[in-house]
């Protein structure tokens, strides 16, 4: 009897310390992450301009679905995400494999290729704005000096080249990150597998396709997943480098939402409408993520 009493008192004391330790950080999380999610869900059904809110049911969603600029933003987001994936992943794998070999100076090369990752994507945007400037940017000057072009070009002036530029800058910035993750995966592949492959008479290419890539599989799935989830939320780079211009040609889901929330670039603030766009963006991100989960699971089951 006495024993259970002291036990209970000890447990109470333990619980008090537990909640004291978790309480403050969780409260911050609830205030700045969970509550805003509920706020978004609620106001997506309201006509709300920051002052007055009236319930309008699904009206916001109806307008959103009919808005060409919104769908352009969705398509642009997908182009940027999968474009940088298609160019960046093979490059990352190539450099991971090369720098996993016995090349002299490989540690220094790894450090150099990782360097761009350190820089904020917003600041990366300014760096490339400086370099791409039509009147005095170094890229134009170099192209003219080498005779590749006659007069300065401004790649951010048309939608297609603006998107391509964003993709290439993203690859420039993210390649080192994915390469480093892949290197970590490569270093875990047991050397015996390669020895066995050599005994079986495999050449370099066969080693790549029958040992390296299958062994790297689970790691690649995580890397691609991270890339896609982050890619669909792209904002910083676009907002600095192109501002979604020209004529919304490089607008993305999050820049679209941000502009309606904060009344930027000639948008009129409509927080209720932006909230419904947020909900739809969340649904799109979830659908892409779940489809990817299903596909990658099926792929790994087939092996």
Partner 1 sequence: MTANPKLYRIAVRALLYMIVATASVIALFPIAYVFMASFKTTQELLAGGTRLLPRDFTFENYVNAWQAANFSRYTLNSLLYAGIVTVLTVLFATMMGYVFQRKSFPGKRFMLGSFYFSMFVAGAVTIYPVFIIVVQAELHRSLLGLILATLGGSSILTTFLVIGYLKGIPKELDESAIIDGCGTFGVYAKVIFPIITPVVGVVTLITFQSTWNSYMLPLALTLTVPDNRPLSVGVTSLAYVSGPQGGTQWDLLIAGTCMSIIPIAIVYLWANRFFIGGITAGALKG
Which member of 1, 5, 25, 151 binds partner 1 (CB under 8 A)?
Answer: 25
Which member of 65, 157, 226, 287 binds partner 1 (CB under 8 A)?
Answer: 226
Contacts of 169 (CB under 8 A, 6+ apart): 124, 125, 128, 237, 241
**C-beta atoms surrounding 145 within 10 Å:** 9
Q: How far is the CB of 302 from partner 1 (least distance, A)?
A: 24
Residue 267 is given by DSSP the state P
Residues in 41-80 that interact with partner 1 by CB under 8 A:
none
Q: Cα(68)–Cα(70) distance, rounded to whole angstroms?
A: 5
Q: Cα(297)–Cα(288) distance, rounded to whole angstroms?
A: 14
> Is 222 one of the binding residues for partner 1 (CB under 8 A)?
yes
Which member of 4, 6, 12, 17 binds partner 1 (CB under 8 A)?
Answer: 17
CA dihedral 175, 180, 185, 189 (to 10 degrees): 110
Residue 262 is given by DSSP the state H
Give the total of residues touching partner 1 (CB under 8 A): 91
Q: How far is the CB of 102 from partner 1 (least distance, A)?
A: 9
Residues in 85-114 that interact with partner 1 by CB under 8 A:
94-95, 98-99, 101, 103, 109-114
Q: Cα(286)–Cα(61) distance, rounded to whole angstroms?
A: 18
The closest alpha carbon to 174, from 88, 55, 280, 68, belongs to: 88
CB nearer to partner 1: give 1 or 204. 204
Q: How far is the CB of 117 from partner 1 (least distance, A)?
A: 8
> Is 227 one of the binding residues for partner 1 (CB under 8 A)?
no
> Is 285 one of the binding residues for partner 1 (CB under 8 A)?
yes
What DSSP line would sit under 35-70, residue for residue?
HHHHHHHHHTTEEESSS-EEE-TTHHHHHHHH-HHH
CB nearer to partner 1: give 159 or 234. 234
Which member of 7, 8, 9, 29 binds partner 1 (CB under 8 A)?
Answer: 29
> Is 292 one of the binding residues for partner 1 (CB under 8 A)?
no
The stretch near partner 1 (CB under 8 A) out of 60-68, 74-82, 206-214, 254-262 is 254-262
CB nearer to partner 1: give 25 or 302. 25
Which member of 64, 74, 89, 275 binds partner 1 (CB under 8 A)?
Answer: 275
Residues in 117-146 that interact with partner 1 by CB under 8 A:
117-123, 125-131, 133, 135-138, 140-142, 145
Q: Cα(39)–Cα(28) distance, rounded to whole angstroms?
A: 16
Residues in 154-193 that interact with partner 1 by CB under 8 A:
172, 175-177, 180-181, 184
Residue 209 is given by DSSP the state I
Q: Cα(11)–Cα(235) distance, rounded to whole angstroms?
A: 47
Which member of 4, 6, 32, 52 binds partner 1 (CB under 8 A)?
Answer: 32
Residue 150 is given by DSSP the state S
């Amino acid at each position: 009897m006495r024993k259970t009493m002291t036990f209970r008192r000890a447990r109470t004391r333990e619980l008090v310390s537990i909640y004291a330790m978790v309480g403050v950080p969780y409260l911050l999380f609830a205030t700045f992450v969970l509550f805003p999610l509920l706020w978004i869900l609620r106001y997506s059904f309201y006509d709300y301009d920051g002052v007055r809110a009236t319930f309008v049911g699904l009206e916001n969603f109806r307008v959103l679905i009919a808005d060409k600029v919104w769908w352009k933003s969705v398509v642009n987001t997908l182009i940027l995400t999968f474009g940088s994936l298609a160019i960046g992943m093979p490059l990352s794998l190539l450099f991971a494999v090369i720098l996993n070999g016995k090349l002299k100076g490989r540690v220094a090369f790894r450090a150099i290729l990782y360097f761009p990752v350190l820089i904020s994507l917003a600041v990366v945007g300014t760096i490339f704005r400086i370099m791409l400037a039509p009147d005095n940017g170094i890229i134009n000057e170099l192209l003219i000096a080498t005779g590749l072009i006659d007069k300065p070009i401004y790649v951010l002036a048309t939608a297609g080249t603006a998107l391509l530029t964003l993709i290439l800058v993203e690859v420039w910035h993210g390649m080192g990150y994915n390469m480093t993750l892949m290197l970590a995966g490569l270093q875990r592949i047991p050397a015996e597998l390669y020895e066995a492959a050599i005994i079986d008479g495999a050449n370099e290419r066969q080693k790549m396709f029958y040992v390296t890539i299958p062994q790297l599989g689970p790691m690649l799935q995580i890397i691609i997943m991270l890339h896609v989830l982050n890619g669909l939320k792209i904002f910083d780079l676009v907002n600095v480098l192109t501002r979604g211009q020209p004529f919304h040609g490089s607008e993305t889901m999050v820049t679209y939402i941000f502009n309606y929330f904060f009344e930027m670039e000639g948008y009129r603030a409509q927080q209720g409408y932006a909230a419904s766009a947020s909900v739809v963006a969340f649904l799109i991100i979830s659908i892409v993520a779940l489809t990817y989960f299903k596909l990658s699971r099926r792929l790994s089951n087939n092996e």
